[in-house]
Amino acid sequence: MESDLSALDATAQAELVRSGEVAPLELVDAAINRVEKVNSELNAVIHPLFDKARATAGGAELADGPFRGVPLVIKDLDGYSAGDPLHLGNELLKRTGFVADHDSHLFAKLRGAGFVVVGKTNTPELGLMPTTEPTAYGPTRNPWNTGHGTGGSSGGSAAAVASGMVPVGHAGDGGGSIRIPASACGLFGLKPTRGRVSLGPEIGEAWAGLVQRHVVTRTVRDSAAVLDVLQGPMPGDPYFAAPPARPFLEEVGTDPGKLRIGVRTNAPAAMAETDPECVAAAQDAAQLLESLGHHVEEASPAALEETTLLELFLVVLTTHVVSDIRHIEAMSGQTVGPDDVEPLTWVYYEQGMQGTAISYLEAVDASHAWSRRVAEFWASPDQGGQGYDLLLTPMMAEPPPEIGDVVGTKDDPWHGMARATAFAAYAAPFNVTGQPAMSVPLYWEASRNLPIGVQLVAQYGREDVLLRVAAQLEAARPWADRRPPVHA
């Protein structure tokens, strides 16, 4: 039965519990065995929570929600999980052993749905990089090719799901950190609309609204069902997305109709050269979408050509790194110096300290104005827009990089940032706009057996359109049964 369980998504595992065929503790024990089997090769789970998971699965406190007994992993970032370590990929917090004393809303909702946390996963320091190779815990390796990375910042969760340890991994996305690891590991990854999932109670927004949180999964239906669990405002949220017309799970299998889809295969603002394999992945997806009855043509928002986006993004990012350093100091009870964080983190901190409140507000205002120009692509003609339903792009400008390729050093801390641009160039613009976007695993590079995802972006608030199309693509070219060489 254990080998069979590794092939099942969260929805199917939950059904086994509801039908009485499997007990929650059996699901959790099987997942723990799978983690123990392959984690040493991948370094995905850095905080095993096995005893706690077994106690939860076998205890009366296990919630009777839609995912009762289903095991998952949560990222060591993006919120507090009561009684569990939280190190943010940082060596100082690892040394001082910080433990959270409460649940963030997101983790409380996951527990309320019946999920059981079996471990916390690796993440780059403060989630700053599109690769998961923190000094504190070492690199997470890609189960498709262990010489390559998993993307970041949710790379540990992505590796855990792709290798069959668990069916669902919590993830967060401030510049591609759900979509990039999903692409690198051959998973489905949906970044929700800004304000869809509460970041409270600790914060109202992260990185001036760039960050959204959700999960990575093997199947579209799991992603939709978990979004139904997580979506919706909590008391005191500064803003929230309009509620969906019906549950997101009901969009899976619904005919999307004939959509108007624009395609772009050159990176916004020429931030990176796009590898031919990544172009081929997008072109392949375009042909598939056309075969499904959609109208597909080369087109994209004119504002994506503007060269100021990276500068605006960095102003917001570096300012919030200063705040994050202050947070580490509060958590550790120590003053943070250059030896307590990685070289690029400290460079970001120093740059953020040179900024002013006015320069930060100007960058936020300019980002909002730029977002309006981008949004015209999706707006209806009577609103002065172009009326497209979706934008299709490569997910990354390069296939998953080799371990060590996207990391800064003391001698050259900016190397990491320079290399990171290729992996965030297509993703980050839609953190700025707040639009929902997803990575869909339709293409594999044959020579190195590496997944290469494609990105689809919808109008603000229209996850329903993305989920309909994702399910259509999943039915036309199923991916969930593909197994990487390293698999539980």
- The HSE-up count of residue 223 (CA atoms within 13 Å, CB side) is 34
What residue ranges do the domains of the chain occupy? 2-476
For 78-97, write each residue's pLDDT tens digit: 999 999 999 999 999 999 99
449: left (phi over 0), alpha (psi -120 to 50) or beta: left
pLDDT given for residue 180 in this prediction:
98
User: Catalytic: which of 6, 75, 94, 300?
Assistant: 75
- The HSE-up count of residue 378 (CA atoms within 13 Å, CB side) is 20
User: Catalytic: which of 6, 81, 153, 154?
Assistant: 153
Q: Catalytic site residue 75? A: yes
What are the structure tokens assigned to 96, written together? 């001082």
Q: If you average pLDDT over every residue of the chain, what do you get?
A: 97
Cα–Cα distance, 171 to 400 (Å, whole number): 18
Q: Catalytic site residue 380? A: no
pLDDT given for residue 3 in this prediction:
57
pLDDT given for residue 1 in this prediction:
56
Fold annotation for 2-476? Amidase signature (AS) enzymes (3.90.1300)
User: Catalytic: which of 104, 154, 163, 177?
Assistant: 177
For 210-237, write each residue's pLDDT tens digit: 999 999 999 999 999 999 999 999 999 9
pLDDT given for residue 4 in this prediction:
83
pLDDT given for residue 406 in this prediction:
95
Print the SS3 string covering 220-283.
HHHHHHHHHHHEECCCCCCCCCCCCCCCHHHHCCCCCCCCEEEECCCCHHHCCCCCHHHHHHHH
Model's pTM, two decimal places?
A: 0.98
Q: Which residues of the chain have pLDDT under 50?
A: none
Q: Catalytic site residue 104? A: no
